[in-house]
């Protein structure tokens, strides 16, 4: 359908639209007009992504003189694929109605691991080896060698891409990662470099958060994005965690050992070069004197991860004199590694500010702050000079240098925490020195400053006023939409008591109580016998899930459960989890029905949809609080309290509840869908916890469903399922319309009735 929002014509690829999608577009459009940032919360299952895509593309189409670029950030690759599939649908629709004028170039960008088509490189197991494998074939010096000596292997795809030169372009269209691979294979061009090149010209780029937020990657990929861009962070409820992780580094014993090995090898390389090609080292020295650490234009294939510090904080100066010579620099690094190793040998937990740490380094190792700050640049330059291609072998020394650079750069918002062992396993010594960032606003600041509009959106952003404080920005629009439902297609319940009427909880003192474990098991068993198709269960942690599943197994509950449905479990191995999910879907498809055990904050909770028959019921066992004894968390809470006046308790509850809401929100994808949500913990019945849930869940949480036991929940479930099995009028009947056709929409705009409905 096609409709007007103020001065632009929106092309929407469906015949009907939800009213909240319309109002979402209106708000978004206002934010774009104001060239400001916005924060929009809209419930899952209301078609956020397509609303966003159609408004922004239509906005661009109606203002051809101001080309806006859309940078769409997703958390995971599979969300990227989903987004691109929706975009393709939209693009086809626009092409149909506008003809070739609507042509755009949209593509997804990922790492070499997901884009490479060279079978030799792809044979490597992990991402880092693939990256290194690529470098081994495409680094500028390797290619120079290969040009002279045909026996040196080169990547035929990259060579052909290079040879094609400026004619190597992607024709307009929407390209998923798969399409890129297919196109690359067809043309014989390297899809990775082609995509990276085309990113500058594309109208829509879909990639991972990290490509904008993590300076190590953003420095290479997103350096040249224009200011006139709209940046969208979809499913952004965890964005603060991504930001702080992007600026955090940890050093362990393995790191120290690895770094030692790396330094030894670099030393050998330097000696070798001294003997054979001393001129090269001298040239590097001269370049550094002139202050050209890495400022020159490097070929894209030589670039390795960029500086871990944010671009504004990188000093534009010459590298200090004491580390210009390669052997001096290696020596400095040796001292640094020595010092860090000494610090790791501690008996107690130590917490220090970066400033204090710097003083200590200066006193004990004689390395000053400025030297530390340049560690990354100097290392990068040295690796380039030494023509090192197996970068995956050198990750350890990289870590040390990243650490040094970050410590040298930031005095605020970080702390250094040294722990001799993990608190949960005190008998296993595993010392770790962590530089952790507490301030999420640091990493995202350059994004807010660089780009015209940043849209942060998700199904769970409650409380919505917290995010601007955490991320330190001023949104021009900040709205939370409710969901207008045709029927009560979601049924949240709070289960506080088990079948024996005793309270259930994952509170620390109760979680290993056999009675609670049994009650949880009975709950699942009873539900499995009533609910058709798929059931998803979320536990608070892997270890808790492992424990409870083993107990269920020993007590025979698991066997009983499996008489109703097959059981699949998320493990820490992604391949296994992926296959388990695939099988879970198969079992739901074939009618056998299945249960999926998963972990809140885990990978599955982050991005897998359990819509339609893949999830008719989701049970959240317990409240997914963070591990509150974690020193890092405590340090972050302290920082939040001191800087943003956010109370510890509030933050913890907020964080736990957004995770819970995120987990249960996966069951709904459209208004035609339906699902039940059980919060199985007595703590959810307390107002201070419950009120942190997003409004669209709260509005369906009846008072009668706040304090249920297993048998009552079972009864409600039966009723609900029977009700949902009835056909219904999708448009919402005579009262509030919940599905608008084009006529409805036009009529409402004319009558001004839409505003009543929206607000």
Partner 1 sequence: MSSSQVVKRAKYKTTVKDPGTPGVLKLTQEKLLFRPNDRTSNNKLDVEFRLIKGHKHTKEGSNKPPWLNLTHAQGSYIFELESFSDLHVCRELVGIALSKHAEATKVISEEQLSAVEMAQRIKLLQEDSKLQKLHKELVASGKLTESEFWATKKKLLDHDESSKSKQRIGFKNSLIFDTKPTSDGRINQVKFQLTPEIKYQIFALKPAVHQAFLNFVPSKMSEVDFWNKYFKAEYLHSTKNAVAAAAEAAEDEDLAVFLKDDEILEMEARKKVRRVDPTLDMEADQGDDYTHLPDHGIFRDGSKEISEAQHPLYRRTLLQDLNRQGAVVLEGKTLDMEMDHPKTVAEILARRKHESDGVIEEERRNRISKMAQIEDLQAQDNHPYAPLCIKDPREYFDSQQVNAVKTLDESQAGMEQVRCNLGSEEAYDSLRTSISKIKATGLRDPLISPEVALKVLNGLTKNISNTKYHLGKSSQEGVLDMLPNTTKDKLLDHWVCSQELLRHFWSSYPVTTPNLINKTKRLKDAISQLYSKLEEIKVSAQSDLRHQVSLVVHPMQQALDAALLHYDADIKKRNARGSKPNGYV
Binding to partner 1 (CB under 8 A): which residues in 165-184?
176-178, 182
Please, which residues have CB within 8 angstroms of residue 505's CB and are 6 or more apart in sequence? 511, 516, 622, 681, 682, 683
Minimum distance from CB of 590 to partner 1 (Å)? 7
Q: What residues does 456 pair with on adjacent strands? A: 39, 233
Minimum distance from CB of 463 to partner 1 (Å)? 22
Relative orientation angle of helices 326-344 and 253-276, to the nearest 10 degrees: 170
Q: Which is nearer to partner 1, 513 or 609 (CB)?
A: 609
Q: Which is nearer to partner 1, 51 or 198 (CB)?
A: 51
C-alpha distance across the termini of the chain, in Å: 24
Indicate which single residue of 31, 205, 246, 537 sits in contact with partner 1 (rule: CB under 8 A).
246
x/- mask, partner 1, residues 655-694, rule CB under 8 A, reads: --------------xxxx----------------------
Q: Which is nearer to partner 1, 231 or 494 (CB)?
A: 231
Minimum distance from CB of 580 to partner 1 (Å)? 5
Residue with tokens 């170039």: 105
Q: Which is nearer to partner 1, 81 or 650 (CB)?
A: 81
Assess 252 for contact with partner 1 (CB under 8 A): yes
x/- mask, partner 1, residues 8-27, rule CB under 8 A, reads: ------xxxxx---------
**Binding positions for partner 1, 214-243, rule CB under 8 A:** 214, 216-217, 242
Residue 71: phi and psi, rounded to 5, are: -105, 110
Assess 94 for contact with partner 1 (CB under 8 A): no
Minimum distance from CB of 287 to partner 1 (Å)? 27
Q: Please tell me the count of residues contacting partner 1 according to CB under 8 A.
A: 116
**Binding positions for partner 1, 721-750, rule CB under 8 A:** 726-727, 729-730, 739
Minimum distance from CB of 493 to partner 1 (Å)? 25
Structure tokens at 67: 């080309």
Assess 199 for contact with partner 1 (CB under 8 A): no
**Binding positions for partner 1, 469-528, rule CB under 8 A:** none
Q: Which is nearer to partner 1, 633 or 657 (CB)?
A: 633
Q: Which is nearer to partner 1, 169 or 579 (CB)?
A: 579
Minimum distance from CB of 473 to partner 1 (Å)? 21
Closest C-alpha among 243, 240, 235, 242 to residue 666: 235
SS (H, E, C) 416-442: EEEEEECCCCCCCEEEEEEEEECCHHH
Q: Which is nearer to partner 1, 128 or 638 (CB)?
A: 128
List C-alpha distances in Å: 335 to 63, 284, 328, 406, 734: 58, 23, 11, 18, 77
Q: Which is nearer to partner 1, 183 or 273 (CB)?
A: 183
* Greatest C-alpha distance within the chain: 88
Q: Where are the alpha helices (DSSP H) in 685-734?
A: 687-690, 695-698, 710-724
The span from the CA of 757 to the CA of 17, in Å, is 14
The span from the CA of 758 to the CA of 481, in Å, is 9
**Binding positions for partner 1, 270-309, rule CB under 8 A:** 305
Structure tokens at 409: 């750069």
The span from the CA of 378 to the CA of 375, in Å, is 5
Indicate which single residue of 264, 268, 553, 691 sits in contact with partner 1 (rule: CB under 8 A).
553
The span from the CA of 635 to the CA of 416, in Å, is 10
Among 26-34, 58-66, 247-255, 274-282, the segment contacting partner 1 (CB under 8 A) = 247-255
Q: How far is CA 526 from the centre of its chain?
A: 35
Q: Which is nearer to partner 1, 6 or 125 (CB)?
A: 125
Among 57-65, 311-319, 373-381, 607-615, the segment contacting partner 1 (CB under 8 A) = 607-615
Among 104-112, 146-154, 309-317, 682-690, the segment contacting partner 1 (CB under 8 A) = 104-112
Structure tokens at 121: 């490189």
DSSP letter, residue 188: T
**Binding positions for partner 1, 127-156, rule CB under 8 A:** 127-128, 130
Residue 605: phi and psi, rounded to 5, are: -65, -25
The span from the CA of 111 to the CA of 128, in Å, is 10
Assess 601 for contact with partner 1 (CB under 8 A): yes
**Binding positions for partner 1, 337-376, rule CB under 8 A:** none
Question: At 419, is the secondary structure helix, strand, or coil?
Answer: strand
Assess 632 for contact with partner 1 (CB under 8 A): yes
x/- mask, partner 1, residues 566-595, rule CB under 8 A, reads: xxxx-xx-xxxxxxxxxxxxxx--x-x-x-
Indicate which single residue of 282, 364, 559, 647 sits in contact with partner 1 (rule: CB under 8 A).
559
**Binding positions for partner 1, 51-90, rule CB under 8 A:** 76-78, 81-82, 85-86, 88-89
Structure tokens at 614: 């893949």
Please report the DSSP string for 38-107 in residue order: EEEE--TTS-HHHHHHHHHHHHHHH-TTS--EEEEEESSHHHHHHHHHHHHHHHHHHHHHHGGGG--EEE
Closest C-alpha among 232, 202, 208 to residue 28: 232
Minimum distance from CB of 212 to partner 1 (Å)? 12
Minimum distance from CB of 51 to partner 1 (Å)? 10
Please report the DSSP string for 470-515 in residue order: HHT---SEEEE-----SS--EEEEEEEE-TTS-B----TTTTT-HH
Indicate which single residue of 44, 54, 208, 496 sits in contact with partner 1 (rule: CB under 8 A).
208
Residue with tokens 């499913």: 235
Among 407-415, 455-463, 601-609, 746-754, the segment contacting partner 1 (CB under 8 A) = 601-609
Assess 551 for contact with partner 1 (CB under 8 A): no
List C-alpha distances in Å: 488 to 515, 660, 672, 724: 33, 20, 11, 8
**Binding positions for partner 1, 392-451, rule CB under 8 A:** 395-396, 398-399, 402, 419, 422, 424-425, 428, 432, 434, 436
Closest C-alpha among 546, 512, 520, 492 to residue 675: 492
Q: Which is nearer to partner 1, 348 or 563 (CB)?
A: 563
Indicate which single residue of 23, 54, 111, 662 sits in contact with partner 1 (rule: CB under 8 A).
111
Q: Which is nearer to partner 1, 518 or 565 (CB)?
A: 565
Q: Which is nearer to partner 1, 464 or 656 (CB)?
A: 656
The span from the CA of 433 to the CA of 64, in Å, is 52
Assess 244 for contact with partner 1 (CB under 8 A): yes
Minimum distance from CB of 85 to partner 1 (Å)? 4
Residue 360: phi and psi, rounded to 5, are: -65, -40
Assess 248 for contact with partner 1 (CB under 8 A): yes
Assess 555 for contact with partner 1 (CB under 8 A): no
Q: Which is nearer to partner 1, 148 or 554 (CB)?
A: 554
Q: What residues does 72 pair with on adjacent strands? A: 206, 232
Relative orientation angle of helices 239-246 and 440-450, to the nearest 10 degrees: 100
């Amino acid at each position: 359908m096609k409709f007007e929002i103020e001065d632009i014509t929106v092309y929407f690829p469906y015949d009907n639209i939800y009213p909240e999608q319309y109002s979402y577009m209106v708000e978004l459009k206002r934010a774009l007009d104001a060239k400001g940032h916005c924060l929009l919360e809209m419930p899952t299952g209301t078609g956020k992504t397509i609303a966003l895509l159609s408004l922004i593309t239509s906005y661009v189409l109606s203002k051809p003189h101001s080309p806006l670029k859309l940078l769409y950030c997703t958390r995971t690759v599979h969300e990227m694929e989903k987004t691109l599939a929706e975009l393709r649908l939209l693009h086809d629709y626009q092409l149909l109605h506008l003809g070739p004028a609507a042509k755009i170039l949209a593509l997804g960008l990922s790492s070499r691991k997901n884009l490479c088509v060279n079978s030799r490189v792809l044979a490597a197991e992990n991402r880092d080896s693939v990256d290194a494998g690529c470098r081994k074939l495409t680094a500028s010096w390797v290619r120079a060698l290969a040009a002279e000596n045909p026996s040196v292997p080169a990547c035929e795809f990259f060579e052909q891409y290079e040879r094609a030169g400026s004619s190597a372009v992607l024709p307009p269209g929407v390209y998923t990662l798969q399409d890129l691979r297919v196109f690359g294979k067809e043309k014989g061009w390297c899809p990775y470099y082609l995509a990276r090149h085309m990113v500058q010209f594309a109208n829509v780029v879909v990639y991972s958060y990290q490509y904008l937020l993590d300076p190590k990657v953003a420095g290479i990929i997103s350096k040249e994005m224009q200011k006139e861009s709209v940046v969208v962070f979809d499913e952004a409820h965890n964005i603060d965690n991504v930001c702080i992780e992007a600026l955090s580094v940890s050093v362990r014993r393995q790191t120290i050992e690895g770094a030692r090995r790396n330094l030894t090898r670099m030393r050998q390389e330097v000696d070798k070069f001294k003997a054979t090609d001393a001129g090269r080292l001298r040239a590097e020295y001269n370049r550094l004197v002139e202050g050209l650490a890495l400022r020159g234009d490097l070929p894209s294939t030589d670039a390795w991860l960029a500086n871990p510090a944010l671009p504004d904080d990188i000093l534009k100066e010459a590298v200090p004199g004491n580390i210009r010579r390669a052997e001096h620099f290696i020596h400095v690094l040796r001292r640094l590694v020595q010092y860090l190793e000494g610090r790791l040998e501690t008996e107690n937990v130590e917490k220090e500010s970066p400033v204090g740490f710097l003083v200590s380094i200066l006193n004990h190792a004689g390395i000053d702050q400025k030297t530390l700050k340049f560690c990354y640049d100097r290392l990068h330059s040295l690796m380039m000079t030494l023509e090192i291609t197996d970068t995956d072998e050198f990750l350890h020394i990289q870590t040390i240098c990243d650490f040094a650079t970050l410590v040298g750069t930031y005095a605020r918002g970080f702390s250094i925490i040294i722990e001799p062992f993990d608190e949960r396993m005190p008998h296993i010594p595993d010392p770790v020195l962590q530089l952790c960032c507490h301030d999420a606003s640091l990493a995202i600041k350059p994004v807010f400053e660089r780009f015209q509009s940043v849209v942060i959106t998700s199904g769970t952003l409650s409380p919505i006023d917290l995010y601007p404080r955490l991320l330190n920005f001023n949104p021009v629009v900040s709205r939370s939409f409710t969901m207008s439902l045709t029927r009560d297609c979601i049924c949240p319940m709070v289960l506080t008591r088990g079948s024996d009427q005793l309270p259930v909880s994952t509170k620390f003192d109760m979680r290993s109580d056999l009675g609670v474990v049994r009650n949880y098991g009975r709950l699942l068993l009873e539900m499995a016998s009533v609910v058709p198709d798929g059931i998803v269960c979320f536990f608070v942690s892997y270890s808790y899930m492992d424990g409870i599943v083993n107990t269920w197994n020993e007590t025979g509950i698991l066997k009983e459960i499996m008489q109703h449905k097959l059981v699949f479990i998320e493990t820490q191995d992604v391949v296994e989890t992926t296959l388990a999910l695939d099988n879970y879907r198969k079992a739901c498809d074939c009618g056998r029905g299945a249960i999926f055990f998963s972990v809140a904050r885990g990978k599955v909770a982050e991005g897998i949809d359990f819509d339609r028959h893949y999830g008719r019921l989701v049970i959240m066992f317990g409240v997914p609080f963070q591990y509150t004894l974690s020193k890092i968390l405590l340090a972050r809470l302290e920082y939040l309290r001191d800087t943003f006046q956010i109370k510890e308790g509030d933050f913890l509850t907020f964080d736990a509840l957004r995770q819970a809401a995120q987990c249960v929100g996966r069951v709904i994808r459209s208004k035609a869908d339906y699902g039940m949500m059980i919060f199985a913990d007595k703590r959810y019945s307390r107002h201070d916890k419950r009120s942190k849930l997003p409004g669209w869940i709260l509005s369906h949480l009846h008072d009668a469903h706040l304090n249920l036991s297993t048998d009552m929940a079972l009864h409600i479930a039966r009723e609900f399922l029977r009700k949902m099995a009835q056909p219904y009028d999708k448009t919402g009947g005579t009262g509030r319309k919940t599905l608008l056709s084009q006529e409805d929409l036009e009529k409402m705009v004319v009558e001004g009735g839409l505003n009543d409905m929206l607000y």
